[in-house]
Amino acid sequence: MSATPDVYRGAVAALAGGVAVVTTTWRRTTWAMTVSSLTSVSLDPPLLLFCVHGDARLRDALDEAETWTVSVLSADQASVADWLASAGRPAVDQLTRVPHRSATVAAGVRVDGAAAWFECRTQALHPAGDHDVVVGEVLVAERAPGEPGSLVHLDGRLRALR
């Protein structure tokens, strides 16, 4: 069987991915997007990456915004993930319905109730097919207290892990 886009999509759906929200501030607007491609790259220096579609609004912002913030969603935040992944949501005030607070050193915001947060500076942007790979130097990393669990994307669905 060949690796057509549909065949590939079906096969890669078996790969579970943690769900996070990436935000940055650009042109006095906070831009946000759900991702399931967040990956640790290096411990020394601390680096992580995510992938963004070339047509995404956030991708345009990353050309000028030097820093960005990641909120790793907890097990009970599927509604946040769905909202920030929905097509046609407004560009302005898209975080009105999502409780959040300012990041400490980076652009963007931290989603309240997340399992962890990272504040990053873009180190590299690599074109990769219809997406770009964004590699960031981690400036701040913090894990939430307690056991908030995790949200993962598997077989086209969001699933809570506790």
Is 14 contained in some domain? Answer: no
- Lowest mean per-residue pLDDT among 17-21, 52-56, 70-74: 52-56
Is 128 contained in some domain? Answer: yes
Is 15 contained in some domain? Answer: no
pLDDT digits (tens, 9 = 90+) for 79-93: 999 999 998 898 889
pLDDT digits (tens, 9 = 90+) for 80-138: 999 999 988 988 899 999 999 999 999 999 999 999 999 999 999 999 999 999 999 99
Question: The domain spanning residue 67 has which CATH number?
Answer: 2.30.110.10
Helix extents (H) in 45-158: 57-62, 78-85
Which residue has tokens 């759906």? 13
Is 160 contained in some domain? Answer: no
**Torsion region of 94: left, alpha or beta (phi above 0 gives left; psi -120 to 50 gives alpha):** alpha
Total number of domains constituting the chain: 1
Give the domain extent around 73: 20-146
Is 157 contained in some domain? Answer: no
- Which contiguous run of DSSP H or E holds residue 19? none
Instruction: With CA atoms as reference, report the closest residue to 120 among 146, 139, 133, 104.
Output: 139
pLDDT at 74: 98
Statement: residue 1 has pLDDT above 70: no
* Dihedral angle computed from the Cα positions of residues 67, 35, 95 and 116, in that order, rounded to the nearest 10 degrees: -70
